[in-house]
A and B are shown apart, each in its own frame.
Chain A
Amino acid sequence: MLGYVFRRAAAVVPILLGVSVVCFSFIHLAPGDAISALAGDNASKEVIAQLRQSYGYDQSLPIQYVRWLGMILSGNLGTSIMTGRSVVSEVIPAALHTAILAVAAIALSLAVGIAMGALAASTRRVWLDRLLTGIAILGVSVPHYWVGIVLVAVFSVELGLLPAMGMGPAVSIYDFSWHDAKFIVLPAITLALIPTAIIARTVRATLIDVRKDEFVQTLYSFGLSRRRVAAHIARNAAPAVLAVIGLQIAQLLGGSILVETVFAWPGTGYLLNTAIATRDMPLLQGTILILATFFVLMNFLVDLIQPFFDPRIMRH
Chain B
Amino acid sequence: MSDLPVTPALVTSEISQTTAKDRRGYWRAVRRKFGRDPIAVTCALILVVIALAAIFAPYAAPADPYKTSVIRRLLPILSPGYILGTDELGRDMLSRLIYGGRVSLLMGILPVVIATLIGGLLGVIAGFAGGRINMVVMRIVEVFFAFPSVLLAVAMTGALGAGLMNCLVALSIVFTPAITRIAESTTTQIRNQGYIEAARATGASAIRIILGHVLSNVAGPILTYASSQVSVSVVIASGLSFLGLGVAPPTADWGLMLSTLRQSLFVAPGNALLPGVMILITSVSFNLLSDSLRTALDVKP
Contact = CB atoms under 8 A, between A and B. Distances in A.
Contacts of B100: none
A14 B266 CA distance: 50
A140 B286 CA distance: 11
A15 B283 CA distance: 32
B159 interface: yes
Main secondary structure of the interface of A (DSSP, over half): helix
Contacts of B154: 254, 257, 272, 276
B243 A251 contact: no
Contacts of A128: none
Contacts of A299: 146
Given A18-B139, A26-B155, A149-B265, A198 B2 contact: yes
B22 interface: no
Given A141-B287, A254-B149, A258-B150, A153 B142 contact: no
B278 to A, nearest CB: 10
Contacts of A18: 139-140, 142-143, 146
Residue in B147, B154, B288 whose Cβ sees the most chain A Cβ within 10 Å:
B147
Interface in A202-250: 202, 243-244, 247, 250
B4 interface: yes
Interface stretch (A46-54, A87-95, A290-298): A290-298
Given A18-B140, A18-B142, A251-B148, A145 B265 contact: no
Given A18-B139, A30-B159, A137-B284, A251 B149 contact: yes
Interface in A254-281: 254-255, 257-258, 261, 272-273, 275-277, 281
B239 A29 contact: no
B150 A281 contact: no
Given A137-B287, A145-B242, A30 B160 contact: yes
A258 B262 CA distance: 14
B238 interface: yes
Contacts of A247: 5
Contacts, number: 150
Contacts of B44: none
B211 to A, nearest CB: 32
Given A143-B238, A198-B4, A153 B159 contact: no
B156 interface: yes
A114 interface: no
A291 B151 contact: yes
Contacts of A16: 146
Contacts of A158: 269
Contacts of B148: 250-255, 291-292, 295
Contacts of A143: 235, 238-239, 276, 279-280, 283
A137 B286 contact: no
Nearest to A29: B159
Residue in A254, A276, A292, A295 whose Cβ sees the most chain B Cβ within 10 Å:
A254
A22 interface: yes
Contacts of B146: 15-16, 18-19, 292, 295-296, 299
A284 interface: yes
B215 interface: no
Contacts of A144: 235
Interface in B231-259: 231-232, 235, 238-239, 242-245, 258
Given A250-B148, A257-B243, A153 B269 contact: yes
A284 B139 contact: no
Interface in A4-38: 14-16, 18-19, 21-22, 26-27, 29-31
B29 interface: no
Interface string A123-157: 00000000000000110111111100110110001
In the A-B complex, list the 10 residue pairs whose CB atoms are closest, starting with the nearest. A254-B148, A18-B143, A146-B276, A254-B150, A276-B158, A254-B151, A141-B287, A141-B283, A26-B159, A29-B159
Interface of A: 14-16, 18-19, 21-22, 26-27, 29-31, 137-138, 140-146, 149-150, 152-153, 157-158, 194, 197-198, 201-202, 243-244, 247, 250-255, 257-258, 261, 272-273, 275-277, 281, 284, 288, 291-292, 295-296, 299
21 contacts: A18-B139, A22-B144, A141-B231, A141-B232, A143-B283, A146-B273, A146-B279, A149-B258, A149-B265, A149-B272, A150-B273, A202-B4, A251-B148, A254-B148, A254-B151, A257-B243, A258-B239, A275-B158, A276-B245, A295-B146, A299-B146
Interface of B: 1-2, 4-5, 139-140, 142-144, 146-152, 154-156, 158-161, 231-232, 235, 238-239, 242-245, 258, 262, 265-266, 269, 272-273, 276, 279-280, 283-284, 286-288, 291
